[in-house]
Copies of this chain bind each other. A is one copy, B any other.
Amino acid sequence: MTRIEDLDTPALVVDLDIMEANLRRVQDYCSAHGIGLRPHTKTHKSIGIARRQLALGAVGLTVAKTGEAEVMLGAEPRDLLVAYPVIGDAKVRRLASVAAVLGSKGKVTVSVDSLECARRLSDAAVSAKVQLGILIEVDVGLNRVGVSPSEAVVFSQAVKALPGLEWRGFAFYPGHIKSQDPEKIAALSRTVGDLRNDFIAAGMPPEIISGGSTPALFHSHEVEGVTEIRPGTYVFNDLNTVAGGACTLDDCAAYVLATVVSTSRPNQMIIDGGSKTFSSDKLSSGGPGHGRIMEGPGALFHKMNEEHGFVDMTNAERTFQIGDKVRVIPNHICVVVNLHEYVYGARNGVVEEVWRVDARGKLQ
C-alpha cells in the first residue's frame, strides 16, 4: 500500500472522489439534456480514464492528433473524432489504418476546413478500403481554424462528392467563450441554429453538430441544435476552470505533490518542480502565479526555472521546512499531464490506481 506522502516528488496526483464526481456531473448533465458527450482525451491522455468515460456513457472520444487516435484505439471507442485538420501523407495513411483496425466496431471521423485536407483523406480512405467520417469545421468566432458559416454548405457539398468519405455534419470550437457569458452564448446559438437550418434547407440535415469545451459546458443545452460536446478539462479541472466559473476549487481533482528542497534565502522556499513539471502556461485571466499551494495559499509560487519553483513566503499563512510536501493546483492541467509519465489516483490518502500518460508526446 502506497500512501500519497510516500510518492516520490514531483508527482501528479488525482483525488479519485473528485474526479469521479466530475465525470458523473458532466455525464448526467449531458444525459439530462439529450446531448452526447464525446470527451477530449487531450487532458488525461490515458486509456484507463478514457475507458471510464466510455463506461459512464460517453458516445465516443475526441483526439487532436493521429498519434493520439492510435493510442486511444486501446480504449475501444465506438466513435473516434480527430478534431484537427489531418495534413500529411503519412498521417492520412495512418489514420486510414486506425479506421481499418476499428473496422465494424467503430467509426473514425475527422473535422476538416479545407478541400485539400478532405481530398487527401478521400484518397487514403479509398486506398485502405475504409470510410472516414467528416465533420466540417466551422469558425464561430475564435478565428483559429474553420470555414465561415456562410461557406459551410457549399464546402460540405464538395466534400460529399468525394469517395471514401461520409459527411456527418459540422463541428465548432467556442474557445473564445472563456466563461459564462449569456450574450456570447446567445450569439453562438443563433449562429449554430441558423447554420443547421441552412443545411436542412439544402437537403443535408446534419447527423452531428459537435461543439463545446469545458468553460461554458453547462450552457451547451442553450445552443440550438448541438448534438454533442467535446470538453476535456472537466475530468480534472484547474485554476483556469475555476476562474471561468465552470467549477469551484473543491472540484479540482488534480494537483502536483511537490517537496520543499531549499529554504536558503529569507522569505523564500524552493520546491522541486518548475516549468518541466508545471509548464509555463500562465493563468488565462492574466493573474500572477504558477499554481495554488493548498497548504498555504498566501505563499506565492511566482517564478520558475526548469526544475525549481520559487515561492515567495512574505504573505504565507505558515512556514515550511526542507522535506515538507505541498499540493499545488496548476493553472492549466492539460499541459501539466503531458509533462508527466504517470498520474496517481488516490482516495483517503492511499494510491489506488496508477495511469500511464499513454499519449504523452504523441505529437504527430
Question: Which of A's residues lie within 8 Å of B, judged by CB?
Answer: 6, 8-11, 42, 64-65, 84-85, 87-88, 90-91, 113-114, 116-117, 139, 143-148, 175, 259-265, 268, 270, 272-273, 275-277, 279-282, 305-308, 310, 321-323, 334-335, 338-341, 360-364
Cβ-closest 10 pairs across A and B: A280-B280, A8-B364, A145-B262, A85-B261, A87-B261, A64-B307, A8-B90, A116-B322, A341-B361, A113-B264
Are A305 and B144 in contact, with the CB atoms below 8 A? yes
A322-B116, A322-B117, A323-B116 in contact; A276/B335 too (CB < 8 A)?
yes
Cβ-neighbour of A276 out of B114, B116, B270, B338 (below 8 A): B338
Are A272 and B87 in contact, with the CB atoms below 8 A? yes
Are A265 and B143 in contact, with the CB atoms below 8 A? yes
- When all copies of this chain in the complex are counted, the total is 2
> Which B residues are CB-close (under 8 A) to A145?
261-262, 264, 270, 308
Q: List 29 A-B contacts (CB under 8 A).
A: A6-B90, A8-B90, A8-B91, A9-B88, A10-B364, A42-B306, A84-B272, A85-B270, A85-B322, A87-B322, A88-B323, A113-B262, A114-B322, A116-B322, A117-B261, A117-B322, A143-B265, A144-B262, A144-B308, A175-B305, A275-B281, A275-B335, A276-B335, A276-B338, A306-B334, A338-B339, A339-B361, A341-B363, A360-B361
Are B280 and A335 in contact, with the CB atoms below 8 A? yes
Q: Which residue of chain B has the shortest Cβ distance to A175 in the bound complex?
A: B305
Cβ-neighbour of A263 out of B65, B91, B114 (below 8 A): B114
Q: Which residue of chain B has the shortest Cβ distance to A83 in the bound complex?
A: B307
Q: How far is the CB of A223 from chain B (nearest CB, A)?
A: 21
A270-B144, A273-B363 in contact; A114/B65 too (CB < 8 A)?
no
- Having A144-B270, A280-B282, one finds 17 other A-B pairs with CB under 8 Å, namely A9-B88, A64-B307, A84-B272, A87-B259, A87-B260, A114-B264, A117-B322, A139-B265, A143-B268, A144-B308, A144-B310, A145-B261, A148-B264, A275-B279, A275-B335, A306-B335, A360-B361
Cβ-neighbour of A264 out of B6, B139, B261, B270 (below 8 A): B139
A85-B261, A259-B88 in contact; A339/B310 too (CB < 8 A)?
no
> Which B residues are CB-close (under 8 A) to A282?
280
